[in-house]
Every structure is written in C-alpha cells, then in structure tokens.
A and B are shown apart, each in its own frame.
Chain A
Amino acid sequence: MKKITFLTGVVVLAFATSCSSDNAEIDTEYPVIDISVANAFPIQCSTIERGKTFTFKATFNDNVALGSYSLDIHHNFDHHTHSTEVTSCEMDAVKKPLKPMLFINNYTIPNGVKSYEATAQITIPADVDPGDYHFMIRLADKEGWQTLKGLSIKIL
C-alpha cells in the first residue's frame, strides 16, 4: 500500500508540474480590415467604370504585426453572393459570363507594421463584361491569422 501512495504522489506531482507550464504569450488575434474610413474605396455597392483606373484604399490593423494582403475581383453573374456586409446591393439579372473581369494580386506590407494604409492602383480593361462583381480583400497577419472581406461592386 505504501508503494501505491508513493506512486500516486509521483503521478500527482507530475500532473502538478505539467499544469504549471510556462505558457508564453502567443498571438491569437485576427487582423482587422477597416473600410469605414472617409476615403476608403471600394465599399459595399461601389461602382467602377470600365477603361478607367481606380485606387483601392483601406486601413489594416493588427495587434502584433501585419503580414500581407491579396485582392481579387471576380464576377457574380450567377448570384453566388458571399458578401460579408450587412447591406445588400441591387443586382442585375443572372447572366452567362463571356469575358468577365478577373483580377488577382498579392501585396506586401512592410515588416513589423501594426497599422497600414493600403493603396493599390487597379485598371479595369475597356472590353470586359459589365455587371455584378465581387471584390475580395484577404488580409493575413504575420502569424497566419486571416480576415477576409467580400464586397459587392458593379462594373459599368
């Protein structure tokens, strides 16, 4: 019986020490995409003209360090709608894509930055299909936490 008590003691001790592990502070927070600032563009239901260049503008924040972001414009002619915004926009009728606008690009953010004013120039070719599109912003922080924002826009 003594042996058991001793062994139980050892195990309890092992548990106790294991419980008091040195839990270093790790980042568990997602970065934030802010499009509520005055000159942010595009926002939900924005319209963009063909054959013109517009400037993407948004503010990114993170508690530790931002990583990089990507922008993606693809058609929503089939109304697959995955906007993350509360308000919905007026949409054209469902249609088949012929030459839909497709834009995918990634952008770096300077190392160790917690807050960043993102800007990017995007040109809409003159010959793409007009209609409903999605504008996706994907922002990852340095640790790999990602936030995405899906906006409904219209190309005229």
Chain B
Amino acid sequence: MKNALSMYWKYCFLLLSLLIAAKAFSQNQPSDKKPEIKELNEVLVNGNSIEKRKKEESLNVETVNNSFIQRNLGGSLMQSLQKLPGVKTISIGSGGSKPLIRGLSFNQVIVVENGLKHEGQQWGADHGLEIDQYAVNRVEIIKGPSSFIYGSDAVGGAVNIKPLPLPSQNTFGGSVDLTGKSNNAQFGSSVNLFGRNENWFFDSRVTTMDYGDYRVPTDVVHVYSYAVPLYKNHLRNTAGRELDFHLSSGYSGEHFKSVFYFSNVHTKSGFFANAHGLEPRNVDLELHDKSSRDILMPYQQVNHLKVSNTTSFQLGNHAFETQIGFQNNFRREYSHYVNHGYMPPIYPKEMYAPQDLERQYDKDVWSFSAKDEFRIQNHQITVGSNLAFQQNEIGGWSFLIPAFTQFNAGLFAYDKIELNEKWFFNGAVRYDYGKIKMKSYYDWFQSPVSENNQTELEYLQRSQDLTKTFDSFTWSVGANYNPGKLSLKANLGSSFRMPIAKELASNGVNYHYFRFEKGNPNLDAERSYQLDLGMEWAAQNFSFQLTPFVNYFPNFIYLNPTSAHDIYYGAGNQVFEYEQSKVFRYGAELQTRYYFLKSLSAEIGAEYLYSEQKSGSKKGYTLPFSPPPSVLIGLNYEPQISFLKEPYFSVDYRFTAQQNNIVPPEKKTAESHVFNLAFGSKIKTGKQDISINIQIQNLFNTRYLNHTSFYRLIELPEAGRNIIVSMKIPFLISR
C-alpha cells in the first residue's frame, strides 16, 4: 500500500511539474499551422476558423482535419485520434474501436456524421464504430456534456464528423488513398471522385480494407487461468475486411443548398477464438492456424446504411436548416452453438435461427430535425427541434436484449452573445422527451423449475412487455474571455441520458466476458452536472492549453458485479446487474508546444482523470474503463527541402501510468512506455501534390497492456511493432 501511495504521489508530482514547467503555448497541431487547403485549392476550412470557433465556444472543443488523421492513421477512426489528450478508445482488435472521452464511452458519447446522430449498437464493448475514416475530412470533439445540442446520450461528449467541403465550381477530379500495414498485413485503398458545375455537385468514395490476424509480442496468453498458445504471435482469428461506399450530391446556390448523403459501411471481422462463448475454450488449432487471413468463427458482420438530406436556406435575417435521415444497422454475430443452461445438447433441426447465428440486431432509425439561426443585435440565437423514431429487432439463438421501439423528441434554444471582441457568453436550454417500448421474450427451450419440491419444465420468460417514458430539462451557461494571446473559458452545464434497452431489460450472457447481465427496469434517466474550464496561451513560438473539469452524476448507470450466480441461462456464471450510484469525477488535459527553431518543435500532451463512486454497492470504487494518467512527449522537425513540400519527421514517446484504481472484474494494469516514429512529405507533381506518410508504431515491439482495451480482461497485450505506409494521390480531370 505504501508503494502504491508513493506511486500515486509520483504521478501527482509529474503532473504538477508539467504544469509549472510549461511556460507558454499554442494548441495548434502542426497541420493547423498553415491553412488547410482542401481539395482543389478551395479554402473552406482553415486554421483561423478553427481558432475562431474555439474562442467563441465555452465548451472544450478539439478540431482535427484529414491531414492529422493521415499522419496518425490507426486501424480505425478513433485509433487515429488517440493522440489528442482526453481522447482514448476501447479497441477491438486492429480494425475497430469506440470513442472513450474522458473515461466515458458507450451510450454516453455520441457520434454525429453529416449532422446525423450515428445509431449503431453502441452499448457493446466489442461493437466498433461503423465509420469510414477515409471519408472524414474534419472532426470536432467536444469533451464535455453536450446534451443541450444533441439530446440524450451526449452526457460525456460528442464526436462530430463534419460534412465534406463542397468541390470548387466547374471541376472534376478525385484522389486515391493507399495504405499498407505490416503488423496485420493490411491493405487498404480508398478512391474518391468528385465534380461540380456551377451549382450541382457530387462527391463519391469507395473504400476497401483487408487485414490478417494481428501480432502481439508474446506466444502465450492467459485467458483467466487458462493458457492459450499463439501461433507465430498471431492473435488467432482477428482478421477482417471492410467495404464502404459513399455518395453525396446536391445543389448549392447563393441562398439555397440541398445535399443528399448516402453511405454504406460493411465490415466482417473475427474475434479472438479462444475467448468467446461461455468459458475459455480450446479451438481447432490446425484449422485456425492454417491461414492468418481467414475469418472463422466466432466473427461479427455489420452493415451500416445511412441516407439523409440536409437543406439550408436563407430568409431575410434567418438561416433555416432541415434534415431528414434514415439509417439501418444490421449486426450479426456468428459462433458455434454451445448449449448452456438447459439448452438441448444438439441444436434442434427446426429452429427459427441458423445454427451458427448467435445474435442478430437489426435497427432502423428515422430522424427529422429543423433549426433556425438568426441575429438580434449582438445575440446569435438558434432554436430548433429533433425527432427520432427507432425500431429494433433481434434474432439468433441467444438472448441478451429484447426487441424494442423508441421515440425521442427534443426542443432547444441557444444564444451566443458577443459583448465585444473579447467577451462571449453562451446560454442554452433544452427539453427532451423519450419513450421506449420493450417486447416480451420467452426461452426457446425448457428449464426445470423447482417449487415446493415439485420440479416442472418451463419456458422461462427473459423479458416482459414494458413501456417507459422519460423527460428532461437540460441547460448550459458559459463565458469566453479573449484578451489577446490569452483566452479563458468557463462552462457549467447539465446533461442527461435516457436508459437504453440493454440497461432496462438485458437478461442473458455476455459471451466475451463470461458473465450474466441483468437489466433493471426501475432505472431513472441519468443526469450529469459539469464545470469545464479552459485556459489557452497562444504566441508565435509557444502555446499552452489547460482544460480542467469537475463532473458529478447523481445517478450514474453502472453494471454492478454481484456475488450471485445465474443457474439457468447463465449456467452458473456470475450475475452483473445494472444499478445507479452517485459518481464524482474530475480531471484535466494539458497540451503545450514550444518552437526551438522555426523547423524544430517539442510538444507535450498529458491527461489525468479520477472517478469515484460515492454511493451504492461499489462505493469507493472507480468506474470501469478508467484511463490511467498519461503523458505524450513529441519532437517534430519540419525542414525546408526544395523539392518537397511540408516534410516532417517526428518522434513520440507515450508514458502511461499504472492503473491501480479498478473495479471488479478489472485487473490492475502496469505502466507502459511506447515509442512511435512518423515521417512524411508532400511531393510536388504538377498542380497536385502527392502526400506520403510513414509511421512506425510501437517502435521497440514493447509488450504492454492497455487498460481500456476490450481484450484487457483476458490479458492480451497490445499489437507489436507496426509499420504503416499511406499515400494520397490527388488528380484533376478537368477544371
């Protein structure tokens, strides 16, 4: 304990010394330094507008563009954004991840793409975000409660993927992206084609990805107490494939703009074969280790379709925008039938579901929103409303959550007051209403139930017909003060989240973690109050940004491990039950950059988070997936070389502290030291510049565990050394 305490102080000291040592700052990423010129020299988004947004927005907002993603390209969008302090991921193998903002994830962080709230099956730790990172031009990350903008779910933050900038008038062109990765032998390509006459335009993209099992620096892993040998360091059956299509098209005039968006993201990826089912399992090694590229069982196949239209028009002083959207998320998880509980040992011939289809979720979401933005003197006012209806069907031979329908409606108003050049005030109010209707479900097999010494066979009921309604009033107030190089901001806001079907009514086995999960129909809507502060100093060769926050949940929804075991469906597995508890959290992120020379700079990014449950059966414990403190120290060299444009060379060192604040069934995670190398440049070729980016992640092939990885519980180390080469070749057919 003494040792733990001294370590604790060591990190406190580390953070404090960082704070004191850092004298000045600018939070600019290298790519923001020069205005970002999007396709065909049309400057639509540049560093200045990002700066302006930061100075007027009292929440903490980070914006990155596609060149940031290219330089830090990971296996999936969120993995490419991990360099930002406060942004982490829950990674599922090498090709999938979900956002973890200041320690919150799942349904507590929302993802918005082209203005449409992304609705997948966010509740599952193994369910990656169905977004094609090649189609992302600009991402805005709000680290804080943003329910007043997005409604339920944005309790922890938001990842807002902005629409693509429109092509310039009278152009026809495109680009080809090629990516190769050594660790999982991945090949990726993305082809973009766009065109526009005066007012009509289209922008299309096809992305393909194919990768093998990823490699870890170990040849044996311990799934609970069970030792699993790995063949040639390959994590058995973690290969995957992806195929995505995008098309946006529409009309853009002076006072009227209407854009249709269509996208379809399809992925198929395997799960680590030895850790799926009801207990750690032996698998057919000969079959599995024959090829590192095949996808055998267990695997998941997900298709996400989105269609939407955004129309905006100007009427006098008013800017109106409407959006209609439809999306379908179709997820299937395949695994060999393993009878558990009192399921028959041999799969019945006349079953409603195919034998290998373990689960199936089919979600349809229709949404509509409208808003009006107008000015009255120095007030910039936005009023609007959103409506969404969703229908969820389930399939497969296993049960976890019931089928349900859900309706949500919200009404909001916000006001930005520009007092003078230095002072901005923000205020917002929002009212939300939600209704969820869950359907009854009975087991397809009989289980023996004993009552008064009589044992009878019964089809057990897993879920009941249940309708719940929730409503909520949320608010937010904030101020910005920007006297020159310094900018200060403060924001106080409330947020809310409606309990989801999984939390209200789950009643089945989580096959990844070998546990029985039980919903709680009496849950209230989750509320959160947060105070955010921001302090920024931006000078010629110094920049500094500090963003502390304090957060309180009076009723955080939490999956509590109990000491009970389920003896029917759960086959003796431990029961985890949803409960609500008071939660107090605080933390901060720090970013600083110092230019020694015009071409040589150093940067530090650090984050710290503390969470504690203040009531309930896990009082005194932290929350699951709490990221440990970490510091990233980077050196960048950007020399002037005549035939190259914007060449760069950078070395990063990430120190991640140990995480001893855990909650069952987590394990303490040791500290880690990981080095990354990156270099690249643009090469002048006529009018278009080809850009090449090379990264060596985990340079020394270090074996380490990531506390927030999906596979952490079964002690799987992170991927070993990975060399990533990516190239973007733009072309212009006519102008």
Whether a CB of chain B sits under 8 angstroms from the CB of A21 is: yes
A146 in contact with B664 given A19-B15, A141-B563 (CB within 8 Å): yes
> Does the CB pair B562–A140 fall under 8 Å?
yes
We find that the number of chain A residues with CB closer than 8 angstroms to chain B is: 51
Pair B620/A68 contact, Cβ less than 8 Å: no
Interface residues of B in 210-226 (CB under 8 A from A): 224-226
Given contacts A82-B282, A138-B573, A146-B574, contact A16 B561 (CB under 8 A): no
Contact A138 B565 (CB under 8 A): yes
Q: Report whether B282 and A21 are in contact in the complex, using a CB–CB cutoff of 8 Å.
A: no
Interface contact B561-A144, CB-CB below 8 Å: yes
B442 / chain A contacts, CB cutoff of 8 Å? none
Min Cβ gap A82→B in Å is: 5
The CA of A26 and the CA of B621, in the complex, are separated in Å by 7
B280 lies within 8 A of chain A by Cβ: yes
Q: Which residue of B lies closest to A141 (CB)?
A: B563
Least CB distance from B559 to A in Å reads 10
Q: What residues of chain A lie closer than 8 Å to B11, measured between beta carbons?
A: 19
Tell whether, in the assembled complex, residue A19 and residue B574 are in contact, meaning their CB atoms are under 8 Å apart: no
A38 beta carbon closer than 8 Å to chain B: no
Residues of chain A with a CB closer than 8 A to B634's CB: none
The yes or no answer to B731 lying at the interface (CB within 8 A) is no
Q: Is the CB of A150 within 8 A of B226?
A: yes
Tell me which residues across on chain B come within 8 A of A21, comparing CB atoms.
610, 612
State the CA gap A141–B367 with chains docked (Å). Answer: 46
Interface size class of B (residues with CB under 8 A): 35 or more
Query: Does A72 belong to the interface (CB within 8 Å)?
Result: yes
The one of A15, A70, A72, A83 that contacts B15, using a Cβ cutoff of 8 Å: A15
Contact A11–B19 (Cβ < 8 Å): yes
B322-374 at interface with A (beta carbon < 8 Å): 338, 340-342, 345-346
Q: Are A15 and B282 in contact (CB under 8 A)?
A: no
Tell whether B641 is near chain A: CB-to-CB under 8 Å.
no
- Say yes or no for A12: interface residue by CB 8 A criterion: yes
Question: Which residues of the other chain, A, contact B561 by a CB distance below 8 angstroms?
Answer: 140, 143-146
| Closest chain B residue to A146, Cβ basis | B574
B588 within 8 A of partner (CB) = yes
B567 to A104, Cβ gap below 8 A? yes
Cβ of A52 under 8 Å from chain B = no
Q: Does A125 contact B (CB under 8 A)?
A: no
For B535, B560, B565, which residue has the most chain A Cβ atoms within 10 angstroms? B565
B688 CB to nearest chain A CB (Å): 45
B16 touches A72 (CB 8 A): no
Q: Which residue on chain A has the smallest CB distance to residue B613? A: A26
Q: B140 near A: Cβ within 8 Å?
A: no
Query: Is B616 an interface position by the 8 A CB rule?
Result: no
Is A123 in contact with chain B by the CB < 8 A criterion?
Answer: no
* B711 at the binding interface (Cβ < 8 Å): no
Does any Cβ of A come within 8 Å of B488's Cβ?
A: yes
Alpha-carbon distance A8/B25, docked complex (angstroms)? 13
For A83, the chain B residues whose CB sits under 8 A away are 226
B243 close to chain A: CB less than 8 A = no
Which of B11, B563, B567 has its CB near the most chain A CB atoms (within 10 A)? B563
| Cross-chain contact A70 with B572 (CB below 8 angstroms) | yes
**A12 to B13 Cα, complex, angstroms:** 11
Residue on A with the closest CB to B660? A28
A4 nearest CB across to chain B (Å) = 6
B651-676 at interface with A (beta carbon < 8 Å): 660, 662, 664-665, 668
* Cβ–Cβ contact B574 & A136, under 8 A: no
B652 to chain A, nearest CB (A): 24
Residues of B within 8 A of A24 (CB): 620
Task: Give the contacting residue for A106; candidates B341, B567, B588, B610; CB below 8 A.
Answer: B567
Chain A, residues 1-18, CB within 8 Å of chain B (1/0): the string is: 001100110011011101
A142 proximal to B (CB < 8 A): yes
Asked if B564 is at the interface of the complex by the 8 Å CB criterion, the answer is yes
Which residues of chain B have C-beta atoms less than 8 A from A72's C-beta?
A: 571-572
Chain B residues, Cβ within 8 Å of A14:
548
**Interface: A48 (CB within 8 A):** no
A102 to B340, CA, bound (A): 9
Contact of A144 with B665 at beta-carbon distance under 8 Å, contacts A12-B19, A68-B564 already known: yes
Answer whether residue B537 sits at the interface, using C-beta atoms and an 8 A cutoff. yes
Q: Which of A7, A66, A72 has the most CB of B within 10 A?
A: A72
Task: Please list 17 pairs of residues, one from A and one from B, whose beta carbons are closer than 8 Å in the complex, sorted by A's number.
Answer: A4-B486, A11-B548, A15-B608, A19-B9, A19-B16, A26-B621, A67-B564, A68-B565, A69-B565, A70-B567, A81-B282, A82-B280, A97-B346, A104-B567, A105-B567, A144-B664, A148-B225
Q: Which A residues have a C-beta under 8 Å from some C-beta of B?
A: 3-4, 7-8, 11-12, 14-16, 18-21, 23-24, 26, 28, 66-72, 74-75, 79-84, 96-97, 100, 102, 104-106, 136, 138, 140-146, 148-150
State the 7 A-B residue pairs at the shortest beta-carbon distance, nearest first: A67-B563, A144-B561, A19-B12, A70-B565, A72-B572, A70-B572, A84-B225
